[in-house]
Amino acid sequence: MRLVKFLAHAGVASRRAAERLIADGRVTVDGEVNTNPATDVHATSGVAVDGLAVAPEPREVHALNKPSGVVSTARDTHGRPTVVDLVRSPRRLYPVGRLDADSTGLILLTNDGELADLLTHPRYGVEKVYRARIQPGRVSPRALKALREGVQLEDGRTAPARVRQVAPGVLEIALREGRKRQVRRMCEAVGHRVVELERVAFGPLGLRGLEQGRSRRLKDAEVERLRRVATSPNRPAAGRTRAP
């Protein structure tokens, strides 16, 4: 197995983050610094990161209903609560993508770097669905049409999206791209301010009654559904993946 894939499977980091660790000279194989991510390694190769031995661990995926005020990182230098703090697991978990601290809803955490890359890499375009409470609450047909077809932001035009008004002042927006604070900026572009934002679905997964602040470990069948959605040959192209 290639070194970068070994680190991702061991739960050290996503594949892209593992590539950075290797390039920075923080990874050793049999006691020697190795900066080649394609090096063939196995469980007895003596792989270590920052001097700590790395061994493959069972892979887990957890769904969390993130509360407001919780940051979507494994650690926070300012002492704020993180999504990792809310999930009970002996594994080294990290979030799959991000939600803004003031956004709520479904976020996944895993130690499976390969799956995390499938779910977040721009070329796979896994759909995420958001509920946005907006002001002013009345949305014109022209604004809805613009959101569906794409609006011009400072970092380029957004891709087509599924958008519907599910209640007065509440929009449901499904994206296959994920630029920084994208839902908020899209709504602002058509004259509406987002006052509450919740992610209600990630690919085939929904909150399914999961209370805010609570998490659950996904079943193998659910993980496989996520993997199939990301690798489907019919998936559309998408933009960048960051926090909405």
The residues annotated with a catalytic role in the active site are 100
CA distance to 132, 141, 171, 237, per residue, from 157 (Å): 20, 19, 20, 14
Place of tokens 């069948």: 221
Within a 10 A sphere around the Cβ of 176, how many other Cβ atoms?
A: 20
Is there a contact between 244 and 187 (Cβ–Cβ < 8 Å)? no
Angstrom distance (rounded) from CA 2 to CA 134: 47
Q: Which of 9, 93, 17 is nearest to 57 (CA)?
A: 9
> In three state form, how does the secondary structure of 29-83 look?
ECCEECCCCCCECCCCCCEEECCEECCCCCCCEEEEEECCCCECCCCCCCCCCEH
Is there a contact between 1 and 42 (Cβ–Cβ < 8 Å)? yes
Query: Could you tell me how many residues make up the chain?
Result: 244
